[in-house]
Structures are given as C-alpha cells and as structure tokens.
C-alpha cells in the first residue's frame, strides 16, 4: 500500500436544462501498485468515475488472497447530515445519530444496530442477525427491493454505538433481543449464508439447503412455542430451533435416566 493510495474527488457539473448544480464522484489513483474499482485496475495518476455500490480495493484478493484483501464499498448517506456536535454537545449529537435511520435496523426497526451490516449496493443498514434471517427467504433488500450483491460490516456505525453506550448503557437494546440476534448469528446453518453474504460469491440456491426445524405442535410436550414480538417474526425459525434443541436435550436426559441401571445399595421407601 502507498501512503496516499487514492483520492475521491467531488466534482460539480451544471445541469444544462435547469441550471442546477449536479455532483458526481471520481477516484484518482495515487498508488505505485494500483487501485482496483470493481476488479478493474485504474492505474497511477488516472481517474475513474465512481458511484454508490462500487467496490474499491487497495489489496485485491487476486494478489493477497481472500482473507488478506483490503477494500472499501462506496456508500452515500445523506442521513448523516446531522447538526454538528458543537451546536448541541457531543453526547446529544451521538444520541441523534443513534436514533436516526443510519443506526436503525431496517428490518426490525430497532436502534442501535447490533453488529451493523450495510447492504450493497443500496446502502440500507441491518442487524447482522436480522439480515441472515431474511436471506433464508429472499435475495432482495426488504426496504427497496434491490438485489443484495453483498453485505459489509459497518465499523463506523459500530464504533459510534460502542462509544455512546459506554456513557449511556441504558440506551442499549433489551437482553432478549440481543440474545435472539446472537442465536441467529451463531446457528450452524447460518455459517454458509454469512459467508455468501460477506464474499458476494456463489448462489443462495446452493447455500440455503434444508430449512431450520420448526416445532411440531404434537412434539411440544408442555414446551410452549416461543411467541416473538411482531418486529422479530422474521427470526421465528431461530427461536423454534432453540426450543427444539432444548426439547431434545430434555428427552435425551429422560431416556438416559430410564436406561440407567438401578442401584441395589440405596433404596428409598
């Protein structure tokens, strides 16, 4: 990598019809070894127009491998135009950002996002667990309907959230919601979906496979099906799968107790 690898320039043009100022972006490659835009080399001292959803790599996978690659996804977020911190105080400014749509999961509607991911190319933000659950059903964004080519971890939103919650822990989400999102992320069947989302490669038809189990009413045996709030219904499969595991654990323990040899030493009358 170069000390100054690339520069993104804001260029203003003029609309010949209405005379309005129209803005565009372009990337200027300043590096010695090259910058890639959507897997195409730009070249030192050359410029290329860029737009939302474009992927910019300074260390492409073809040179350093998938896990060592370093790049960026270009997103434009007009929602970030909040009043500057000095006008309202740093803490209030962070609270304003946290409560805005930038830090709100666009599936469950709750804020702040838990392990925020941004859909590419549309730029909508989601809880990681929520997007994994949605991916079982659809390849398109639930907000705008555009096909999600890839998802990227939004470290900026995560950092803002962490900084604010240190001083305002009461602004964090409920333990129940966080636990449910953790289950969605860590379920073994989520691993393939997560890999496909982050890499943007492969087909979801090859990834989905059999669905997670759903509780059969006849198998509940006194174990009530978990009733989730309306905003979390897309995570129902994970709640059912967790309950199914709990039920199997109880049944296994009961079977082990039945099959255990009876002790002749201790008799309780």
Task: Encode pLDDT of 227-262 as tens digits.
Answer: 788 888 888 888 877 665 544 444 444 454 445 454
Confidence category of residue 141, pLDDT binned at 50, 70, 90: very high
Summarize the confidence of residues 78-94 as an average pLDDT: 47
> What is the rounded average pLDDT for all residues in the chain?
75
CATH class of 6-73: mainly beta
**Domain boundaries, given as residue ranges, for the chain:** 6-73, 78-208, 217-253
Confidence of residue 91 (pLDDT cuts 50, 70, 90): low
HEC secondary structure over the chain: CCCCCEEEEEEEEECCCCCCEEEEEEEEECCCCCCEECCEECCCCCEEEECCCCEEEEECHHHHCCCCCEEEECCCCHHHCCCCHHHHCHHHHHHHHHHCHHHCCCCCCCCCCCCEEEEECCCCEEEHHHHHHHHCCCCECCCCCCECCEEEECHHHHHHHHHHHHHCHHHCCCHHHHHHHHHHHHCCCHHHHHHHHHHCCCCHHHHHCCCCCCCCHHHCCCCCCCCCCHHHHHHHHHHHHHHHHHHHHHHHHHHHHHHCCCCCCCCCC
78-208 CATH choice from 3.40.50.1220, 3.30.40.10, 3.40.367.20, 3.20.20.70 = 3.30.40.10
Highest-confidence range of 59-63, 111-115, 252-256, by mean pLDDT?
A: 111-115
Task: Assess whether pLDDT exceeds 60 at residue 82.
Answer: no
Averaged pLDDT, 118-133? 91
């Amino acid at each position: 990598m170069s000390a100054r690898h690339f520069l993104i320039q804001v260029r203003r043009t003029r609309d010949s019809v209405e005379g309005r100022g129209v803005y565009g972006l372009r990337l200027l490659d300043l590096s010695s070894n090259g910058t890639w835009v959507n897997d195409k080399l730009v070249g030192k001292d050359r410029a290329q127009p860029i737009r939302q959803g474009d992927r910019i790599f300074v260390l492409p996978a073809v040179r350093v491998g998938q896990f060592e690659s370093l790049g960026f996804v270009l997103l434009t977020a007009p929602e970030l135009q909040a009043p500057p911190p000095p006008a309202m105080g740093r803490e209030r400014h962070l609270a304003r950002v946290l409560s805005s749509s930038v830090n709100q999961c666009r599936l469950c509607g709750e804020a702040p996002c838990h392990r925020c991911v941004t859909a590419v190319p549309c730029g909508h933000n989601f809880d990681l667990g929520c997007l994994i659950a949605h991916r079982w059903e659809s390849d398109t964004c639930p907000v705008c309907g555009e096909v999600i080519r890839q998802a990227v971890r939004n470290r900026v939103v995560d950092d803002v959230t962490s900084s604010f919650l240190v001083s305002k822990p009461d602004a964090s989400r409920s333990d129940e919601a966080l636990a449910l999102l953790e289950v969605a992320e860590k379920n073994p069947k989520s691993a393939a979906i997560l890999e496909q989302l982050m890499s943007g490669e492969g087909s979801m038809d090859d990834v989905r496979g059999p669905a997670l189990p759903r509780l059969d009413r006849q198998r509940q045996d006194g174990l009530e099906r978990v009733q989730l709030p309306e905003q979390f219904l897309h995570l129902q499969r994970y709640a059912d799968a967790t309950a199914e595991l709990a039920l199997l654990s109880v049944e296994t323990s009961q079977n082990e107790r039945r099959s255990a040899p009876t002790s002749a030493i201790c008799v309780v009358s």
